[in-house]
Amino acid sequence: MKKTFIIANWKCNPTTLKKTKTLFDSIKKQSNKTKKGNNEIVICPPLVYLPTINAKPTNIKLGAQNCYWEENGAFTGETSPLMLKDLKCKYVFVGHSERRKYFNETDEKINKKIEAIIKAKMIPILCVGETKEEKKQEKTQQILKTQLKIALKGVKLKNTKLCIAYEPVWALGTGKACNPDEAKKINLLIKKIITQLYNPSIAKKLPVLYGGSVNSKNANAFIKEACMDGLLIGGASLDAREFSKIISSI
């Protein structure tokens, strides 16, 4: 049975440990009730909360929103892949558009992070997507090609797991999700680019997820109509009831 990824990006929320524990416990309770199929539910909280939230005894997996590429050393303020692995993280985001925009995360840096995450035996979730302006100028194909080509330069994927999340920047936090027909075209385009960079068998196996204003009303269409392998959920994942509705809707 095909695995469906449901990945929560809490971004820089909640603001206290107490609120975080309440949210996580509520998601745990709800997800126990809505357990079905072969879903991989992943929660990506702010780093500071990772050691204190306890996913047991559920099947919920933990992920990080960012990491550095070095294992340790004089890199003030950074978190290494080894540290995340030690905190039982299974996944790490790379190239989220907010990190590209506000923290100068370039495709070259993303490439180093992907290599480091794979070396630490975790799974990178590579976020790609065009801005509103780039879409208007019909540059989506070119942008995705460049982002994937540089981010995956030299990355061996034969026996390695990696997820690609198509997150059109114009759809993030706007309430204006991508049309499922359009998302399906992008899904095929990403598979075509991966085929060109690697081969058809790797492209077939690589999960492609959609993120951008997903809610309980549109989630199903991205899985069933756009044939996505999963969803990346920002705003709606901060509401335990809405998040569990999304899980049970797909």
Active centre residues (catalytic) = 96, 167
Write the interaction track for ligand PEP spanning residues 157-186; mark x where CB under 6 A is met and - where it is not: ----------x----xx-------------
Angle of helix 107-119 relative to helix 140-151, nearest 10 degrees, comes to 40
Q: How far apart are CA 169 and CA 158, in angstroms?
A: 29
Beta bridge partners of 4: 39
> C-beta of 218: minimal distance to ligand PEP in Å?
11
> Which segments of the chain does DSSP mark as H helices, in order?
17-33, 81-86, 97-102, 107-119, 132-136, 140-151, 180-197, 200-205, 219-224, 240-249
Per CB under 6 A, does 216 bind ligand PEP? no
The residue (of 125 and 203) whose beta carbon lies closer to ligand PEP is: 125
Among 214, 221, 226, 246, binds ligand PEP (CB under 6 A): 214
Distances (CA, A) of 100 to 23, 71, 129, 183, 217: 28, 22, 11, 22, 29
The Cα–Cα gap between 238 and 25 comes to 12
- Among 44-52, 72-80, 155-163, 209-217, which window interacts with ligand PEP (CB under 6 A)? 209-217
Q: Which of 232, 240, 247, 250 lies at the binding interface for ligand PEP (CB under 6 A)? A: 232
Q: At 20, give phi and psi (nearest 5°).
A: -65, -45
Residue with smaller CB distance to ligand PEP, 156 or 217: 217
- Tokens describing residue 217: 């009303």
Of the candidates 187, 213, 216, 244, which one interacts with ligand PEP according to CB under 6 A? 213
Comparing CB distances to ligand PEP, the nearer of 115 and 242 is 242
Q: Which residues bind ligand PEP (CB under 6 A)?
A: 9, 167, 172-173, 211-214, 232-236
